[in-house]
Structure 1
Amino acid sequence: MTIAYYSMTGNIRRFLNGVDVDLPLFEVTEQTKTDKIDGPFVFITPTYGFGEVPDIVSTFIEENRDNIVGVAATGNRNWGQNFAKAGEHISERFGIPLMLKFELHGNEKERALFKETIERVGSIYENFGREKVQSY
């Protein structure tokens, strides 16, 4: 499993630097927004404006919708009901479970919760794409 993310301001990069998981990371940029990820991945997105999903994130998810198994979102609680709303929009539009909402670059408790959730999701998808073997 992979963790894909978009981090224009660096908050998500800082969040991931504080999470001790041994998974490949894929950063979405203008150059990689149409790249495909083979296999299951979770996606972390920021929220901008009044709860909008960044265009680059929408493009990436459209290209990779078949392999995304969960979404987490960051935002600023000052936005009230629109806090980390991008994660809700992605979840509703694509039928992807919303794993976590966290503020800015997260705190220790949020990073621990993300790690626990990633480990649980990873164990569910550890056989993703493997050929079935007949049991004896």
Structure 2
Amino acid sequence: MTHLYYDSRTGNVQRFIDKVIQITGWTAHRIHKDMVVDKPGHLITFTTNFGKVPPLTEEFLQTQHSNFFSVTSSGNRNWGRNFGVAADKIAEQYDIPMAFKFELSGTMEDINQFIDIIKNQYYDSKRGSKKLDIA
């Protein structure tokens, strides 16, 4: 069973997760203060404040980062090079491979591509490649 751990402020990541779950049946857990991960999985978050990792995500990662096979981030292409940059920062700081970036709540193409990446690169396995051509 694939587990997704996510942070959502405006609802974009929540909508993305809802669509992924509807298609796959995977299990999703919304992160919260003092949460402990009991099943390793994949982290999905958002980028805030012109390219920062959300504070709740950052706090969560300080103790739980070793439980993730990959990181994915939403963003807004209007921010140019800062689009989805939270995933880049998390990948670098915590040595977690970046899987994907999507805009706002993602398109169906984004959702299908994310599912394909998780199934084929990271599905219940050890961490995959640090760099993906499509991320």
2:4 maps to which residue?
Answer: 3
CA distance in 2 between partners of 1:66 and 1:116 (Å) = 23
Q: Which ranges of structure 2 fall in alignment gaps of 5 or more residues?
A: 127-135
Q: Which structure shows the bigger proportion of residues in helix conformation?
A: 2
Moved more, 35-44 or 71-80: 35-44
* 3-state DSSP of counterpart to 2:102: strand
TM-score (norm 2): 0.85
2:90 maps to which residue?
Answer: 90
**How does 1:1-136 map onto structure 2 within 5 Å?**
1-19=2-20, 20-28=23-31, 32-120=32-120, 121-124=122-125
Q: Between Structure 1 and Structure 2, whose CA radius of gyration is higher? A: 1
The CA deviation at 1:123 is 4.4
TM-score (norm 1): 0.85
Q: Which ranges of structure 1 fall in alignment gaps of 5 or more residues?
A: 126-136
When the two chains are superposed, the root-mean-square deviation of aligned CA atoms in Å is 1.2
1:134 maps to which residue?
Answer: none
1:88-129, CA deviations, whole angstroms, 9 ceiling, x for partnerless residues?
00000011000000000000111001111122211425xxxx
Task: List structure 1 runs of 4+ shifted beyond 2 angstroms.
Answer: none
* 3-state DSSP of counterpart to 2:4: strand
Aligned length: 122
